[in-house]
């Protein structure tokens, strides 16, 4: 980090606050929901096209619910979970009329969901968890899935042009954490995550980032796109 860059305590992020007009991180000047692009993530649409979802699907860290809405409209049985009650409230509004099970829950625990899911989507949750919580989270996903379940992860990548650490995760850490929890990685490649640009200018300036924008004016941030299969431990 250069002398002009500012670091933040990402573990102190207030996800409920940012969904109700407050600040996500003290001093970061983020009063928009950075991942709320108003539609499903482009990579989630592509994952569905590639056949990554089947049966009962868990959307973990569902945020405002656009990915869950998209999957439900494709005919999947979707359970959408987030730790922020304000996110779940917004997601329920967007999903009006659809049969989606929403819940506020701790992703590192997930008690009560054991053995329920055939597929899991993690669209930008892993990197929000503090380091010690990541193995607990991967193990919780193993407990709530059925034998042979598939996991698809989009996680900020620790590569040039990416988000600052610890929000960007080294590939080796992801591999080790998932493998130790009973997940066999079958594919891992770099992709891009679409985010909100307007309202994020000061944060990017303070962290020394200059993300590229897509043709819709959204940020394009590098992510690991990981496919993994559940194996017995």
Residue 143: which CATH number? Answer: 3.40.50.150
Structure tokens at 42: 């482009």
Per-residue pLDDT, 151: 98
- Size of the chain, expressed as the number of residues it contains: 233
Q: Which residues of 20-54 are buried (b: 16+ CB within 10 A; e: fewer)?
A: eeeebbeebbbebbbbbbeebbbbbeebbeeebbe
Does any domain span residue 178? Answer: yes
Closest CA to 61 of 20, 25, 104: 104
Asked whether the whole model's pTM tops 0.75, one would answer yes
Closest by Cα among 56, 30, 216 to 145 = 56
Residue 189 within any structural domain of the chain: yes
Residue 173 lies in a domain: yes
Q: What is the pLDDT of residues 44-72, one digit of tens each?
A: 999 999 999 999 999 999 999 999 999 99
What's the domain range around 59? 35-194+219-230
Give the Cα separation of 224 and 152 in Å (integer).
10
| Domain annotation covers residue 131 | yes
């Amino acid at each position: 980090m250069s002398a002009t860059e500012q670091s933040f305590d990402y573990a102190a992020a207030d996800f409920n606050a940012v969904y109700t007009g407050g600040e996500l991180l003290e001093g970061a000047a983020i009063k928009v929901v950075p991942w709320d692009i108003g539609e499903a993530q482009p990579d989630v649409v592509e994952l569905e096209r590639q056949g990554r979802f089947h049966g009962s699907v868990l959307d973990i860290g569902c945020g405002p619910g656009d990915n869950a809405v998209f999957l439900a409209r494709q005919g999947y049985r979707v359970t959408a979970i987030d730790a922020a009650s304000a996110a779940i409230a917004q997601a329920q509004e967007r999903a009006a009329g659809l049969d989606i099970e929403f819940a506020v829950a701790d992703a590192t625990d997930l008690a009560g969901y054991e053995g329920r899911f055939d597929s899991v989507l993690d669209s930008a949750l892993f990197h929000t968890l503090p380091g010690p919580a990541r193995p607990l989270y991967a193990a919780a996903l193993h407990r709530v899935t059925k034998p042979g379940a598939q996991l698809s992860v989009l996680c900020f990548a620790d590569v040039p042009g990416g988000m600052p650490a610890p929000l960007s995760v080294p590939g080796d850490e992801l591999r080790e954490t998932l493998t130790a929890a009973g997940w066999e990685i079958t594919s891992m490649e770099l992709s891009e995550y679409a985010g909100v640009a307007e309202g994020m200018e000061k944060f990017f300036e303070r962290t020394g980032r200059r993300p590229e924008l897509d043709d819709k004016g959204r940020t394009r941030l590098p992510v690991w796109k990981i496919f993994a299969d559940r194996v017995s431990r």
